[in-house]
Structure 1
Amino acid sequence: MTTLADRYVAATLRSVPAPRREEIATELRASIQDMIEGRTDGGEETAAAEREVLTELGDPAQLAARYADRRLQLIGPRYYLAWERLLKLLLSFIPAMVGLVVGLVAATDGKSVGAAVGAGFASAFEVAVQIAFWVTLVFAVLERTNTPLHLPDWSVDQLPEAPVERQITLTDTAAAIGFLALFIAYLPLQHFRSFVPADGAGNLPVLDPALWSFWLPFLIAVLVASVGLEFAKYRAGRFTWPLVAVNAVLNLAFAVPVVWLMSADRLLNPDLVARFEWLREGHNLKTVTTVVVVTTILVVLWDTVDSVIKARRAAR
């Protein structure tokens, strides 16, 4: 056998278990010889036939993996879908939650808004990398050890409904949830970090601190429920009359307290009003109150009417 074939056999044997090397070497040499003879019998030169045979056999490392029954993949098809679904699920909420918590903690510790946002993004990215690494490592080990996952078998009952045009897209849902999350985060954040410095150390809260006894926690609960409604709307894919009703109730639950508190001069922090002389002059405070009340009513009416119109369209 020529040197070129010997080199190919040697390269293949490097990656196979030692106890099987002699057996595989004998089998591989015989296969190469038979393939070469098959070509030379047809009139091809031995050197050219040998080169073409070895090229046809391919990379020795891949051939060795086939002999050793070794997978040349980190995660194979048996585990890939489970790995992908779990990874997407964990990455969909854990990094965002950790980033939000870290950002809020950094903000309450006196860091600037930019530093708090940076800390939140950095923590979210680090958590995402850690999740991806450890989940992938676990599934790679399962792949190598052939550990069964004991997942339920697939059935036709798991088939999704035929795709239909969605009224509520993922982009709309993400934007709405992002806005609500920022609003929820702002309510406690403004108590510690606002744009108005106090006479001494710290900052003046924009909203009356006395509202923390009931109204601010109530409004936060309404906003959290609104986040849940956004998930329900996206899952339904369209507006339904029950969703319209819940949306209207949540709009009223938010708007009525805001309008009443603002009209009664109980929403804004009295110290904040006292700090700005222009608010105390003439009807300026009343003008601000009117703007807030009218804006709140218009936004609630628009959102409620819009949901009714979309529900009627979906019902046709």
Structure 2
Amino acid sequence: MTTLTDRYLAATLRSVPVARREGIDTELRASIEDMVEGRTAGGQDAGTAEREVLTELGDPAQLAARYADRRLQLIGPTYYLAWERLLKLLLSFVPATVGTLVGLVAAADGGTVGAGIGQGISAAIQVAVQIGFWVTLVFAILERTNTPLGLPGWSVDQLPEGPVDRQITLSDVTASIAFLALFAIYLPFQHYRSFVPADGDGNLPILDPALWSFWLPFLIAVLVATIGLEIAKYRAGRWTWPLVAVNALLDLAFAVPVVWLMSTDRLLNPDFVARFEWLGEGDNLKSITTVVVVGTALVTLWDIIESAVKTRRHSA
């Protein structure tokens, strides 16, 4: 009759290389017999002792993996940190960038704004899933083939100098991101629900619908990129000159089109202007244009100067 030990050994050995089975069989069988004898010498029943010993040894598949030096995890400790860092880096900007570009192309190619946003979100999700799958697959293969990555080893020289004196707080970044996100959402939202009634209880967009051919998708993309900048600022903990340069570029990318469109009477929806008679009286519309242009220029200039001053103070 086949004993529990024979069955346990058979289950273990079928998962190890053939060339090592005989040696492992001899070694493991001897170990089991020694442990069983130790228990029976203390007065325990042989059958009970055998069952308890095999239970302590655990799942035969796990024991076989240890004998064969085969990893049972998808990404082991050797490559885990490299996998995690690369995955976080790619997911931090690639899906959002692809989604924004797809949405802009869809909206500019004669599609509706809603369809463009939907396609952009769908593309971002698909890209994120693909990045997660392929990066994990590559590292799993590297793990199992013991392929060296050639990455520099860790040393104490990589330790930070001391606690980071944060110049940029989480509350400030959260408030900025919330404002930017609401602004970016409102641009397409006002096209469908601006809360300005038109004739026949319809919706009257505040901004000229003709701008959806390019400028409004462009401005939304700038706002999304600015959200990415806010995240980068928080991760850095303080302003740096590269961040100042990117901030100035994004500020100008938003402000210049707004100023130009407002100055040429192309920003506001003509039907919206006609809806309010007082806008057409005297220089009212011109005054509003001046306020928007000057206000946008001052806010942009202030933001650029403030970021540069903070960077200069910190680096001094």
* TM-score normalised by structure 1 residue count: 0.71
The offset of 1:281, in angstroms, is: 3.5
Structure 2 CA distance, aligned partners of 1:112 and 1:253? 24
- Asked if the contact 2:207–2:268 (Cα under 8 Å) also holds between the matched residues in 1, the reply is no
**1:195-274 matches, cutoff 5 A:** 206=208, 233-234=233-234, 236-238=236-238, 262=262, 265-268=263-266, 272=270
**1:139-150 matches, cutoff 5 A:** 139-150=139-150
The offset of 1:290, in angstroms, is: 4.8
- Asked if the contact 2:239–2:310 (Cα under 8 Å) also holds between the matched residues in 1, the reply is yes
- Asked if the contact 1:273–1:280 (Cα under 8 Å) also holds between the matched residues in 2, the reply is no
Structure 1 CA distance, aligned partners of 2:152 and 2:272? 65
Match of 1:39 in 2: 39
Structure 1 CA distance, aligned partners of 2:125 and 2:10? 46
Aligned-residue Cα RMSD (Å) equals 4.9
- Asked if the contact 2:99–2:119 (Cα under 8 Å) also holds between the matched residues in 1, the reply is yes
State yes or no: 1:160 paired with 2:160. yes
- Asked if the contact 1:99–1:120 (Cα under 8 Å) also holds between the matched residues in 2, the reply is yes
Give the stretch that moved more between structures: 16-25 or 161-170. Answer: 161-170
Match of 2:94 in 1: 94
Give the stretch that moved more between structures: 107-116 or 119-128. Answer: 107-116
The offset of 1:10, in angstroms, is: 1.6
Structure 1 CA distance, aligned partners of 2:96 and 2:104? 12
Structure 2 CA distance, aligned partners of 1:247 and 1:64? 57
Cα gap change, 1:171 to 1:126, in 2 (>3 Å) = farther
The offset of 1:284, in angstroms, is: 3.7
Match of 1:18 in 2: 18
For residues 246-280 of structure 1, the C-alpha deviation after alignment (integer angstroms, 9 at most, x for no partner) is 97898799769966885xx4353699389736343
Give the stretch that moved more between structures: 162-171 or 228-237. Answer: 228-237
Structure 1: 5+ residue stretches without partners: 196-202
Match of 1:276 in 2: 274
Give the stretch that moved more between structures: 16-25 or 243-252. Answer: 243-252
Structure 2: 5+ residue stretches without partners: 195-204
* TM-score normalised by structure 2 residue count: 0.71
Q: Could you say what secondary structure the match of 1:276 adopts?
A: helix
| Sequence identity (%) | 70
Specify the code of the residue in structure 1 equivalent to 2:6.
D
The offset of 1:118, in angstroms, is: 1.4
Structure 2 CA distance, aligned partners of 1:71 and 1:226? 43
The offset of 1:297, in angstroms, is: 6.1
The offset of 1:90, in angstroms, is: 1.1
Match of 2:115 in 1: 115
Give the stretch that moved more between structures: 159-168 or 96-105. Answer: 159-168
Count how many residue pairs are aligned between Structure 1 and Structure 2: 301
Structure 1 CA distance, aligned partners of 2:127 and 2:250? 34
Match of 2:103 in 1: 103
Structure 2 CA distance, aligned partners of 1:2 and 1:269? 87
Q: Could you say what secondary structure the match of 2:164 adopts?
A: coil
Cα gap change, 1:121 to 1:282, in 2 (>3 Å) = same
Cα gap change, 1:7 to 1:249, in 2 (>3 Å) = closer
- Asked if the contact 2:208–2:268 (Cα under 8 Å) also holds between the matched residues in 1, the reply is no
Structure 2 CA distance, aligned partners of 1:4 and 1:268? 85
